[in-house]
Amino acid sequence: MSTVTERFLKYIKFDTMSSEEDTVPITLGQIEFAKVLVEELKTINMEDISLDKNGYVIANLPANTKKIIPALGFIAHLDTSPDMSGQGVNPQIIEDYNGLDIKLHKEKNIILSPKDFPELLNYKGKTLITTDGTTLLGADDKAGIAEIMTAMEYLKNHPEVLHGKICIAFTPNEEVGRGADHFNIERFGADFAYTIDGGPLGELEYENFNAAGAKVNIQGRNIHPGSAKGKMINAILLAQEYVDQLPKGETPAETEGYEGFYHLTEIHGEVENAVLRYIIRDFDFTSFEKRKEQMQKIADNLNDKYGNGAFNVEIKDQYFNMKEKIEPVKHIVDTAAKAMEAVGVVPDIRPIRGGTDGARLSYMGLPTPNIFTGGHNFHGKYEFIPTYAMAKAVEVILKIIEMYSSDEIGRSRSNALLKERPGF
């Protein structure tokens, strides 16, 4: 039986960077990786395996008991972030970590240090997998895939472990917000699911931001600067004025916990035209709506000042806080927390300052909280993961399955499903 570490080291060799371009339905690397996973699923004798035209891998492990048990789902994503290259990943394995600086790249003097990342000290004596300082590692989310695959192989090789139907899926394009676009929930077949896509050991998340994207188009008027007095309207300066009117201190760099923000992600322009792009985030839906209203109000006030049409704001909702859809079936969070405790992991229940496939899936009818992979510093060259944490993630997956198969949890939750599901 392959270990979770062996799988992970094999998987990160695939360059599965996703693309921000809407015209790219799925990158070639993701398809190649998906095909390899399909073959591996066949070797461990999973059933009903498929890879569809959109790049979704789905398979299941049929129930091996006549008990009525909820169908559980486990989901991870194929792609890595476009923020940094995932090509030619050359992992370093640091055994028995001593708590000192780790030189990722000697020539470039790139150092993974507990001075900058004090969480490293939590893993003294453990084995770490790091980058070589030139790429990301890919634990987000190839660690999640490795953990799910290892748990499924264990169940297939240990038929004495009773379980209900287990459904797994590996999705494309999660990192660019399109992971749930073509997810077929009916085909998947689970009553509820977990994304294995979180960070450090113990993370358990069922709250995430409400999210929107905003584009502010600014129309100026270009006149020769020698005769521009009273005539020129510099769109770049108007853009600066718009930025200055948003609340101070409500940016990602100045917020934490449940605090929301406006995040200016792009600015470009000339005297005649300028464009600002923002993402808007807030956990509270009422505050989220007020943030969108604030962006429009600023534009309206500036249009009164400079003339109607100088500012045009386009706002598009992206996803919503899954808490609303998960609270009616909160047992899926409580069971995951108890499973962690049972295998010696302290649950760290916290809001996601971002989003996962689970956020959209929850609103599509599949309540899906998020569980840790064990990784740190995703999307960059300082990414690392302890092998210990990956092994614990496998144990948590197996313990959740075991707990739902027990008489105490399985029967009560199965009986409640028909009452809970209509709320979605």
Active site residues: 79, 174
List of residues 6+ apart from 393 with CB closer than 8 A: 4, 143, 144, 147, 196, 371, 372, 373, 374
Tokens of 146: 């490795």
CB contact burial 2-26 (16+ within 10 A = b; e otherwise): eebbebbbebbebbbbbbeeeeebb
Spatial CA neighbour of 207 closest among 322, 92, 297: 322
Round to whole Å and give the CA distance between 31 and 66: 37
- Strands 370-372 and 192-198 turn out to be parallel
Which H or E element spans position 335? helix 331-342
- Strands 210-219 and 311-319 turn out to be antiparallel
